[in-house]
């Protein structure tokens, strides 16, 4: 049985103390790729690398029935200001461990052992999928092209995230 493509409503969050709308190349990469795939960007923000400001925005999106997936970029490194995993994990109802594992496996082909510094994570909160990617545009291309593009497409087999999104499938 062939499935018809179902666009996902995605909110994008750039986590950075220095980026602006003009120079947010990672946010631009994610927006362009999601739009090219046929999805809808329903919100896009830039927030400083502060776990409480991150949680505030993400919590609003988790509560918004119009947002089905959140993709963040930035704050997944090891410096003192990198706090995305610490901000996001308390919000998760379930963590998707395989996302970070697969991201690092794929990244190894491009950046070799430097991938151990990536703390890419993903989870589900209130039925909303949350994916946290590193801040480089290359990492965003890898995350989208090699994982999210297929997992956010209901036609991908043998399984995908879209078929798990009950709000998308309600009549």
- Tens of pLDDT, residue by residue over 121-130, are 999 999 999 9
Question: pTM of the predicted model, to two decimals?
Answer: 0.94
What's the CA angle centered on 76, arms 60 and 166, to 5 degrees? 40
Q: Say which CATH superfamily domain 9-164 falls into.
A: MoaB/Mog-like domain (3.40.980.10)
Ranges of each domain in the chain: 9-164
d(CA 84, CA 89): 8
Q: How many CB atoms lie within 10 A of CB 28?
A: 17
The pLDDT tens digits for 62-110 are 999 999 999 999 989 888 888 999 999 999 999 999 999 999 999 999 9
């Amino acid at each position: 049985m062939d499935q018809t493509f179902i666009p996902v409503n995605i909110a994008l969050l750039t986590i950075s103390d220095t980026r602006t709308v003009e120079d947010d190349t990672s946010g631009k990469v994610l927006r362009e790729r999601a739009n090219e795939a046929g999805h809808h960007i329903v919100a896009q923000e830039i927030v400083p690398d502060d776990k409480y400001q991150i949680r505030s925005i993400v919590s609003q999106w988790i509560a918004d029935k119009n947002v089905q997936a959140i993709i963040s970029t930035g704050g997944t490194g090891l410096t003192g200001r990198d706090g995305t995993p610490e901000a996001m994990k308390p919000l998760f109802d379930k963590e998707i461990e395989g996302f970070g594992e697969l991201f690092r496996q794929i990244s190894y082909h491009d950046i070799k052992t430097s991938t151990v510094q990536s703390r890419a994570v993903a989870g589900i909160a209130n039925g909303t999928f949350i994916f946290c990617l590193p801040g480089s545009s290359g990492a965003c291309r890898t995350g989208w092209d090699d994982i999210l593009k297929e997992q956010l497409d209901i036609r991908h087999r043998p399984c995908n995230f879209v078929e798990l999104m009950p709000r998308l499938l309600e009549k």
